[in-house]
A = this chain, B = another copy of it.
Amino acid sequence: MTTEIARSPYTGAALGEYSTSHPDDVDHAVSAAATAAAEIANTAPSTIAGWLGAIADALVAHRDELAELADSETGLGMERLTGEVERAANQLRFYGSVAAEGSYLDATLDTSAAVIGRVQRPLGPIAVFGASNFPFAFGALGHDTGAAIASGNAVVAKGHPAHPGLSRRLGEIAVKALAGAGAPEATYGLVTGFEAGTQLVQHPGIKAVAFTGSERGGTALWRLANERAEVIPVYAEMGTVNAVAVTAAAAAARASEIARGFVESFTLGAGQFCTKPGLLLAPAGAGLAEAVGAAVAERPSGVLLTEAIANDCKAGVARLVENGATIISTGASAVAGWGAAATVLTVPAATLAKDSPLLAEVFGPVALVVEYADAEQLHAVIRELPGALAAGVHAEDAEDVTALVAALARNVGRVIYNGWPTGVATTWAQQHGGPWPATTVPAATSVGAAALQRFVRPVAYQDLPDAALPPALQDANPWGLPRRVNGAR
């Protein structure tokens, strides 16, 4: 029997030991989820929204307890975590409202030749692998779980070993809230342990996988799923280096403001954001690198989520140095636990090249400043960047940034103007995904209304009797959904 040990990032001390799921538990969780899935698939979206609302209410009711438990295991701080519980609750409500609005079903009817109705159908049980860095927003009850249930699926979540006590508590809360709201048993289940994760991805009953985490972890699950008899989609949102370009005019006008903003953004949550701006493209000679260095030197120390992440962060800095980067400045060192000092490095623009180790993510409060000589070199660097979740531009309003925005947009999912990528609002228009290796499916998003699209597939019904159609396509439109009829909406 294997176990997971919870440890404090503040001290490294063991907090508790938890047994992980037995293979039979995993098998039972998937089988039960498959039974639930058949019932959920025929449930009105507005009813499902009520289930998600019940989980949201339960999260808020347990807010302080959850934030304290999370802080003990993640070291992310009470203020951030208290806010994140509220945020996670709001996300669940948002996905419920998107489901209830009904556009995600894309109900479409043609009556001209054959009578064909097409509607999105839930895929079946979804395996959700929560992230370490957002234990609520991207954890066992985070975006992926919200979007998967909202789109009519059952979820089997795999708890993250970096917060084993919290994962289990979230599982209990969800199961109780769903039962209270009248959802089918096993609409949500939680399993734990590395082996359970592998078993989930290989299980014939699982129909899609959602993952947030490292490129290594995400691509491993993706490869595993690609070896199945029935290959299934793996939506892995992985870490990337998000670049922010500063124009010469912006640097001349407000170098120290941009430097402060950059340092605050890349050290937020001890740099453990997948949207961390890992690369600042600064005009040479404008003093930006120096201003960033000065701001970094003043940063207090932070603790990282796990010992492995702390070690990887140190190794990442060493790798950057080995590959030609120079440390500009570091912040205060941690006195205990799994600390990491904020670190900013620089490298000549000409050394950046596709697949360079300089362009691999360092997870933690570490960033590169690269000085470019002119617009031509700036564009040359941008062409070498691998796919990323986000990119930014800092410019003056009088400038024409069309070409710069287009160059950055070519390889990312989101472009931010005069701001920083770390904040990701949960809205209809959000896109949190990008070209490989940002995500395994470039068109997918794990945040925003379109997140539901990952867990459904269309089925067309040709010439069927009305009663045998899914409710979304029946003549009476019992769920009151928006529909497109003969091409008109």
Contact = CB atoms under 8 A, between A and B. Distances in A.
Contact of A116 (B114, B386, B425, B441): B425
Q: Counting chain B CB atoms within 10 Å of each CB, which of A113, A405, A419 scores highest?
A: A405
Contacts of A397: 465
A225 to B, nearest CB: 10
Q: Counting chain B CB atoms within 10 Å of each CB, which of A106, A428, A436, A449 scores highest?
A: A428
Interface string A103-126: 100101110111011100101000
B118 A431 contact: yes
Interface in A104-154: 106, 108-110, 112-114, 116-118, 121, 123
Interface stretch (A294-302, A322-330, A455-463): A455-463
A450 B461 contact: no
A463 B427 contact: no
How many subunits of this chain does the assembly comprise? 2
A476 to B, nearest CB: 15
A429 B459 contact: no
Category for how many chain A residues contact B: 35 or more
A415 B459 contact: yes
Nearest to A219: B231
A229 B355 contact: yes
A212 interface: no
Q: Counting chain B CB atoms within 10 Å of each CB, which of A116, A226, A233, A387 scores highest?
A: A116
B413 A459 contact: yes
Contact of A489 (B116, B437, B482): B482
Query: Would you call the interface of chain A mostly helix, strand, loop, or mixed?
Result: loop
B429 A468 contact: no
Contact of A460 (B418, B419, B431, B453): B431
A332 to B, nearest CB: 32
A219 B303 CA distance: 45
B233 A442 contact: yes
Interface string A419-463: 100010101111100011100111101001110010011111111
B460 A429 contact: yes
B460 A400 contact: no
B355 A417 contact: no
A112 B354 CA distance: 38
A459 B402 contact: no
Contacts of A226: 226
A489 B103 contact: yes
A400 B469 CA distance: 11
7 contacts: A110-B430, A230-B437, A402-B468, A405-B461, A413-B458, A414-B460, A443-B457
